[in-house]
Structure 1
Amino acid sequence: MSALISQTCLSEDSNEEKRGNGLIYAEPRYRTVTRLLSWNVSFIDVVLITSPNGMLGLPFLTRKKGFTAKVYATKAASRIGQLMMEDLVYMHKEFRQFYGPESDEPIWMKWDRLEMLPLELKKTVFGADGTDFGCWMPLYSAADVKACMLKVKSLNYAEEICYNGIVIAKPLPSGLEIGSCNWRINGPRGNIAYISNFSSLNALEQVGNDEDRSGLANYLSNSSSADVNSETRSALLSTDEYLEEIDKLDFICSCSMDSIKAGGSILIPTGRLGIILQLLERFELHLTSENMKVPIFVISSVAEELMTFTSIIPEWLGQQCQDRLYSEKPSLFTHTEMLKDGRLYLFPAIHSVELLKIWQEPCIVFCPHWSLRLGPVTHLLRRWRGDQNSLLVIEEGVDANLVLLPFKPIAMKVLQCSFLSGMQLKKSLLLMKILQPKHVLFPEIFRRCVDTLKVSLSSSFYQENETLHIPHTEDSSRLHIDMDLARQIKYTKFEEQNVDISRLKGKLTVEHGRYKAVR
C-alpha cells in the first residue's frame, strides 16, 4: 500500500507565492495510484501490509464505498502505522490552523493557474504521461484513520490466518524495521513468498562493475542449486552492506560534528524509526569521542510511544541485541541511556512549553516531515536557513532543489544521502539460485538488470496500476481423502498412461488451504 502515497507533497507559503517563484500556495495533497477513483474495490479480497510505512496509504483505499476486504498486518506495524497516520493528520491540522482551511476545489487546480506553473512542477503535477493530475487527493481525516483501523486485523509474527478456507497467510519477521514482515501465502494450487526486505535503489549498480556482472551472470546461468559452495553461502551471510551503511552514518555524523564545532545545528527530517535509532547510536559515539555535550531532540506527536516499541518487539533485533533483551540488561539501546542521562529529549510539538524551557543551540533535531512542507521541520528550516554553519540531512529520492524552493535563499549546508532499505539485488539473485522457485515476480525497475544478467529463472515484472496473472506453480492440486472414504476406493489401472483411476462419491470441501473429500 505504500504506492498509494507518492514522494511529492504540493504546498507553499504565501510569501513565496508573492515572490512569483511558481510554487503552489495550498495545503499539501498526495498522489494516489492512477485511476484509484475508478477501481471497483469490491473485487479486492485481502490486503497484506508489509511495513508501518505501508499503512500510510491505506485509508485512501478503505474509505472507498464497497471496500470489504480483509486487511492483515503485524501488531507492531498496525500500531506504529496508526501512530504515523495520526501524526500526519495532526500536522495537517496544524497547517490549517496556521494558514486557514481551503475549499474543496483549490485555486491552484484551475487550468489558468496550472498553465502558470514552471515546467518542473508541471511534470510533478501531471506525471510523465500526463495522467496523474486526477490522482492528487487531500489527506484523509482522523475519522478515516479510525474507520481504517477497525478493518485491520493485527497478527503476531508467525500467526497463521486462513481466508475463505482456501488461502493461508503467515507474516514472518523481515528484520528491516519494527513491525516489517515477509508474507508466506499457501494455497491448494501453489505457494507464494512475498519478500518485502528489498532495496530498489540503483538496481544495476548494486551488482558491481562489468566484470562482476559478467561473473554473476555466468554463475546464475550455468550452476544449479547443488553447486552452491561455501563462498556463495558466505556471500549471502555477509555483513558488508551493513558495514557500508555504518560508514555512511559515520560520514553524516562527521559532517555534523564539523557543523556543531562551528556553532551550527543539525536538522534531520525523517519519520523512519530504524534510521533514527541507528543515527542516535552513531551520534553518541562521535559526541563522546569529541567530548562534546550537545542536546538531541526528537520532536513528534508520537515520538514517545514510538520509542516504546524498541524494547517490546524483539523480532526486528539482531541476535546480539536479542540476547541483551532477554537477559534484561538495562542498556539494551544507547538511546535509553541517553534519555535517562538527559542527552536525548522527546517532545510532542515544537511549541511545547517544556521544550522551550530547555532549548539550546547548537543541537541535533529529528522531526517530520520529509517533504519539508509540514510539521516542525518548516519552523526550524526558517530559523536556520540563513546559518551557513547549520546542516540539513535529507534522503535521496527527493528533488532537493524543488523541496527547498520555499526556503531560498538558503545558506545552510545540505547533505543528501540514501539509507539501506533492504536486501540488494545481487544477494537476492543468489538466494533465488539456492531456493529455485518455479516463478519469480520482480519490480519493473529491475527488468534491465535481470535481462543484463541473463537470469535463467522463470520470471515476470510488475508495475503500478497493472494486473499481473501469475502462472500456476503446480499442474494439479492435491486432494486429502477421508479415511473411511479412502477404504472404498477401487483402482483401475491404465497401463499405457501408467495411471490409476477410481470413481469416488463424496463431498468436496476446502479446509485450511487444502481440498478435502469426505462422505
Structure 2
Amino acid sequence: MRFHCLSGNPNKPCSIIQFKQATIMLDCGLDLGTLENYLPIPLVSSAKVYSLPQYSGGDNNLGSELRENNGRVYIDSEPEFLPPTSEFFNFRDIDVILISNYTCMLALPFITENTGFKGKVFATEPSILLGKVFMEEMIEFLDRAPRINKPDRWKQFHKHLPPPICDMKNVNHLKQLYNKATINNCLANVQIVGHNEKTDCFGLLQVTPVSSGYCIGSCNWILSTGYEKIVYISSSSTLTTHPRAIDQLSIKNADCMIMTALTQTSALMPDPMIGDFCRIVCETLKSNGNVLVPCFPSGIIYDLFECLAGQMEMNGLTTIPLFFISPVADSSLAYSNIMAEWLSGAKHNRVYLPEEPFIHGTLIRNGRLKSFANLQDETINSEYRQPCVVFCGHPSLRFGDAVHFIELWGNNSNNLVIFTEPSVNYLDALAPFQPLQMKTISKPIDTSLNFTQANKLILESKPRCLVIPEQYSHSSSTPSLPHSSEINLELGIPTFTYNKFDILKLPLKRTYENLSIDPALASTLVPTEVRPGVAIATITGNLVVRDNRYTLLPLPEIKTEKDGKGRPVRLREDSKTGIPLNKQKPCHYLYGKLNTNQFVQSLASQGISDAKVETGPNGGFPVQIHLPAEEILIQVEEKSTHILYDQAEGSTAADTERLRQILKETLLTCISKF
C-alpha cells in the first residue's frame, strides 16, 4: 500500500492511499493559514485600514499591492487560499474521496470541479449540510465587500519580502475562493452515508464510517477487505460533549492505522477553558463592557451558548442579549436541533420528552439569543443594545462582521475580544488593527484527542502499524507534562511518519481474495477425510472476474465419442468441442516430488538402461539424469522437472515421438496423483 500526503497541516488533512487498484483520498481540508498575510476587508470604508502606509522596502515598486503596520507587511487584495495541489497527484485518477467531518471538506470544490474528477465522494449528512454552511459563509463575507484590485506581482518577489510573506509556500498555486454554483455542483454528487453503514467500492473493498465523537456527523473511516483492515482516525474525541460518542470498538485490530488531526492545544483541557471563557465574559459584562467572540458558524459555539447562558443566569445577567450574526446563522441553529440521531445520548433523549436537544432554541424564544444574517438586517437596530455579547465570523479577522466590531469597539478598554478557535493565532489576527485599547484574551477550546488520549487509544486498539504526521513524533513536552505533545513511539508498533508531499510504502500487501463458488458446482464436491476433523475436496471450474468479484463456475459440458472398442473418449481438438484444452477438466492432479530412483528403474524396464544420475549437495536436489544414447538430459528440481531432448542421429521423427511418450508415461507413474 502506498500513502501520499498532500497537506502540511495535520489539522487540515488531505492524503491519498493506493491499495488493491483503488485510489482513495482521505479528507480534503483547506488550510486557512494564508489569511494572516492579507489586509482585513472592512464592511464599510475604514480610515484606519486604508490609511496604513504602503510598503516602501525594496526596489520592486510593490507599494500599491502591499501595506505596512508595526513593521509587518500585508497583501492589499482579496484573500487567496492554498488548496491541495494536483501537481504531485492527478485528481482525475482518484476513485473515492472520504470526508471525516465538515471542517475537513472545505477544499472539496477545488478537487472535484474542473479537474476531470469522476470518482465518488462519501460523507455523512451533517457533514454535507454544515460543510455547505461553512463554505457559503466565507463566500458571503467576500462578496459583501469585493476588492476591485487583484494584484499578484508580489508573488514574483515574495522571497525578497519581509517575513512571514517570504515564508509562504507555493504562492503560484494560491487560488480565489469558489462560488455558490461551484459548491452546488460539487455537493450534488456527494453520496450520503450513515454511521456503521458499509458501502462497496467497485468490489475492491468496503468503507464504513464510525462515530469519532468530535462534532455533529464526524466519523472515522474503516477500509476493509475480507482479509485486510485499514483505519483512518481524524479529528476524534473521547470527551462527553454534544456529538455522538466515539466508537472505539470498531477501530481495534487494524492492519494499518492512520492518525491525524490531534489537538492543537495539548496543554489546555477544554473544560477549564470553557469555564474561564464564561467567567471572563461575565466579568466584562458586569463592568459594562461588550464582548466579541470571533467564531465559526457551527461546532463548539453550540456548547458556548449553553454554558454562557447558564453562567449569565447565575450572575443575574439575563437581560443582556447574545447576538449571533452570520449569513448562515439560522441554518446552523436549525440544523443542530433536527439532527438528534447524530448527538450524544443525553441530547438525543431530549427529543422524546419532547424538548429540543440544544437550549439555544429556548434562548431564541425567550429573547436572550438573537440571530441576524448581517448588520444590514432591518431589525438589528431595534434589538441592538449595550452591553452585549456578539458571536460572529470570521475567526481570522480578515473578513466578515467581526472586522466591523473590532473597529467599532476597539478604542474602549472596557470591551473584550476573546478567541476560542485553536487554529487561529490571535496575535497575528489582531496585528493589522494595532494599536487597540480593548482587552484581548485567547481561550482556545479544542475537544479533539490530546497526545495522552491518543497514546491510550493506540495501545487499546492494537494496530499492526501506525502512520502519523512527522511533527507528532517530536517531543515539545514540559517536565510537568511528559509526552504531552508527542505520540509514544515505544509502544512496540511499527510507526511511519510523513511530511507534506511524502510518499510512504507501507507493509500492507494483498494476501487473499474472496471467491464465490457457483451452487451447481458446489453441489458436486465430495470431501474426503484425510485425518479426523479435516476433509478435502478437489474442485475444477471456470474462474470469472467481473467488477473485481471472483466467481468459480462449472466447466462447460465436454462432448465425447467412442473409440474402436466402443469406449467413450474425450475429444481433444478445439475445433470439435469448441472448448480450449486449458479450460477442460484434467484427468488427474499431480502432487509431491519425483522419486528419481523409481524413475530410473522404470526407464530400465522400458529398455533405457544407460541412465547416469548426478545428485545435488548431500544427495538432494537438483538431480540430473543423463541418457547418452538418446541424447536426453532430465533436470529434476524440488518443484519442477525439465526434459531436454533432441532427435538423435540416425533416428526418425516417429522414433523421437515414441521416446517422448515413454518418458511422459514413465514420469507420471513415479509422481503421486489423485
TM-score, normalised on structure 2?
Answer: 0.63
Aligned to 1:313: 339
What amino acid is the match of 1:45? D
The CA distance in 2 between the partners of 1:38 and 1:31, in whole Å, is: 14
Aligned to 1:72: 122
Q: Are 2:416 and 2:439, in contact at CA under 8 Å, matched by a contact in 1?
A: yes
Matched, 1:284 2:309: yes
Q: Are 2:297 and 2:393, in contact at CA under 8 Å, matched by a contact in 1?
A: no
Shift in alpha-carbon separation, 1:318–1:406, aligned structure 2, 3 A = same
Sequence identity (%): 26
RMSD (Å), alpha carbons: 3.0
Q: Are 1:17 and 1:25, in contact at CA under 8 Å, matched by a contact in 2?
A: no
Greater Cα offset, 189-198 or 383-392 = 189-198
Pick the aligned partner of 2:78 from 3, 17, 27: 27
Aligned to 1:327: 353
What amino acid is the match of 2:184? K
Pick the aligned partner of 1:426 from 452, 469, 479: 452
Aligned to 2:165: 121
* SS state at 1:258 partner: helix
* SS state at 2:552 partner: strand
What's the offset of the Cα at 1:23? Answer: 1.4
What's the offset of the Cα at 1:448? Answer: 3.0
- 1:407-422 correspondence to structure 2 within 5 Å: 407-422=433-448
What's the offset of the Cα at 1:310? Answer: 1.8
What's the offset of the Cα at 1:493? Answer: 11
Pick the aligned partner of 2:89 from 31, 35, 39: 39
What's the offset of the Cα at 1:154? Answer: 1.9
| Gaps in structure 2 of 5+ consecutive residues | 1-26, 40-48, 55-66, 238-252, 254-265, 476-485, 555-674
What amino acid is the match of 2:164? E
What amino acid is the match of 2:512? S
The CA distance in 2 between the partners of 1:332 and 1:14, in whole Å, is: 45
Shift in alpha-carbon separation, 1:434–1:11, aligned structure 2, 3 A = closer
Q: Are 1:369 and 1:377, in contact at CA under 8 Å, matched by a contact in 2?
A: yes
Shift in alpha-carbon separation, 1:250–1:508, aligned structure 2, 3 A = same
Aligned to 2:661: none
Residues matched between the structures, number: 463
The CA distance in 2 between the partners of 1:441 and 1:145, in whole Å, is: 32
Pick the aligned partner of 2:372 from 325, 347, 352: 347
Deviations 1:94-134 (A, max 9, x none): 120xxx3234x5344342xx3674323322x24xxxxx322
Aligned to 2:405: 380
The CA distance in 1 between the partners of 2:458 and 2:369, in whole Å, is: 43
The CA distance in 2 between the partners of 1:494 and 1:432, in whole Å, is: 43
Q: Are 2:297 and 2:328, in contact at CA under 8 Å, matched by a contact in 1?
A: no
Aligned to 2:208: 170
Q: Are 1:386 and 1:410, in contact at CA under 8 Å, matched by a contact in 2?
A: yes
* SS state at 2:501 partner: coil
Aligned to 1:444: 470
What amino acid is the match of 1:434? E
* SS state at 1:148 partner: helix
Deviations 1:64-103 (A, max 9, x none): 421112111111111111121111111111120xxx3234
Greater Cα offset, 84-93 or 159-168 = 159-168
Aligned to 1:466: 502
* SS state at 1:346 partner: strand
What's the offset of the Cα at 1:453? Answer: 4.7
Pick the aligned partner of 2:50 from 5, 9, 14: 14
- 1:81-480 correspondence to structure 2 within 5 Å: 81-96=131-146, 100-103=147-150, 105-111=151-157, 114=158, 117-123=161-167, 125-126=168-169, 132-198=170-236, 244-271=269-296, 273-292=298-317, 293-329=319-355, 332-394=357-419, 395-448=421-474, 452-472=488-508, 475-480=511-516
Q: Are 2:297 and 2:329, in contact at CA under 8 Å, matched by a contact in 1?
A: no
* SS state at 2:380 partner: helix
The CA distance in 1 between the partners of 2:412 and 2:445, in whole Å, is: 26
Shift in alpha-carbon separation, 1:456–1:515, aligned structure 2, 3 A = farther
Aligned to 1:232: none
* SS state at 2:504 partner: coil
Shift in alpha-carbon separation, 1:437–1:504, aligned structure 2, 3 A = farther
The CA distance in 1 between the partners of 2:90 and 2:28, in whole Å, is: 19
What's the offset of the Cα at 1:37? Answer: 4.4
TM-score, normalised on structure 1?
Answer: 0.81
Shift in alpha-carbon separation, 1:37–1:297, aligned structure 2, 3 A = farther
- Higher share of residues assigned helix: 1
Shift in alpha-carbon separation, 1:348–1:378, aligned structure 2, 3 A = same
* SS state at 1:298 partner: strand
The CA distance in 2 between the partners of 1:164 and 1:334, in whole Å, is: 44
* SS state at 2:309 partner: helix
Greater Cα offset, 379-388 or 10-19 = 10-19
Matched, 1:481 2:517: yes
Aligned to 1:205: none
The CA distance in 1 between the partners of 2:429 and 2:392, in whole Å, is: 16
Shift in alpha-carbon separation, 1:426–1:473, aligned structure 2, 3 A = farther
Deviations 1:393-432 (A, max 9, x none): 2233433332212211111111113212322332333333
Between Structure 1 and Structure 2, whose CA radius of gyration is higher?
2
Greater Cα offset, 500-509 or 279-288 = 500-509
The CA distance in 2 between the partners of 1:269 and 1:370, in whole Å, is: 5
Greater Cα offset, 257-266 or 443-452 = 443-452
| Gaps in structure 1 of 5+ consecutive residues | 127-131, 200-224, 226-240
The CA distance in 1 between the partners of 2:283 and 2:209, in whole Å, is: 43
The CA distance in 2 between the partners of 1:493 and 1:468, in whole Å, is: 46
What amino acid is the match of 1:39? F
* SS state at 2:164 partner: helix
What's the offset of the Cα at 1:365? Answer: 0.9
What's the offset of the Cα at 1:452? Answer: 4.9
Shift in alpha-carbon separation, 1:64–1:187, aligned structure 2, 3 A = farther
The CA distance in 1 between the partners of 2:339 and 2:160, in whole Å, is: 50
Shift in alpha-carbon separation, 1:244–1:457, aligned structure 2, 3 A = same
Q: Are 2:206 and 2:223, in contact at CA under 8 Å, matched by a contact in 1?
A: yes
Q: Are 1:58 and 1:148, in contact at CA under 8 Å, matched by a contact in 2?
A: yes
* SS state at 2:29 partner: helix
Q: Are 1:63 and 1:144, in contact at CA under 8 Å, matched by a contact in 2?
A: yes
